[in-house]
Amino acid sequence: MCTIPPAPPPPPPPLPVSSSSPPKLSDFSPTFSYSDICEWAAYEPQLWEVCAKNDICLHEAPFQYKYKNFESIMQIGPTCGLVALSMLLNGEVTPEELLNITKMKGYSNNGEMFSCKDMAKLAEQAISLAEIANLNCYVKTGGIFCEKIILELINGATLLVAYDADCNHSPCLRHGHTAHWALVCGIVIVKDPGNSYTADPSNVYVLCRHGKSRYLSAWTLDELDKSNNNLWEFSPKKQEDGISYVLPEGGIGGENGLRGKFLLFKGL
């Protein structure tokens, strides 16, 4: 007489996966004690995650920090600057709307923004369209890694900064060939800086968003500053890709370009 073996137990349910939104603390293994590291940042999942990943203030709160959460927007095509600006405006003016404005004004053909001055003009028009009161935009020069800008960030300012992006989107030095825009939405001063915020470059981190990742990034302000200051020339490869780009007079390294320039926003 034959017997039928019992059916095997069902497989365990799959781990939660989301391709459209960043993970939350509750998505991680319940066996991990979140209070062990970065407890000071636990109120904001992405802030906690980026600081834990980059070993920033794991076991005690930073000396000072400021962070504003903006929803990520993914870029389509060379629209990194438009996406960063739209994030700053909480999506009140979409990247598509900004693209239409740039084409109409002659700032861009495809969404590329290689002039900080043109980006400021676009930002002013977008702020008006979004009807955000008391938000002001300023073109700044002279370097990001300085006492004045650090204090502005601590006091709640946000920045739009062009830089060279490495393969993992962190700042690098490629003479402007991989120019990319980021929204600087926070700062972390790890230890008491004493008499100078700039004495130790490893003591000052900025928290950034950009159009090629849904996740918050953390870089030292010094490396972002150096990357911004090395934006000398437009990518030779892009010059030969058959796409027409709008470049400012003097190139991206000139007076009307990106090198050594950034936008500072106050009033959010």
Q: Which residues are catalytic?
A: 80
Does residue 253 sit in helix, strand or coil?
Answer: coil
DSSP characters over 49-81: HHHHHTT-SSSS--SEEEE---------SS-HH
CB 71 within 8 A of CB 95: no
* Size of the chain, expressed as the number of residues it contains: 268
Residue 153: name the closest of 78, 228, 226, 205 by CA.
205
d(C-alpha 62, C-alpha 206), whole Å = 13
Pairing of strands 217-220, 136-141: unpaired
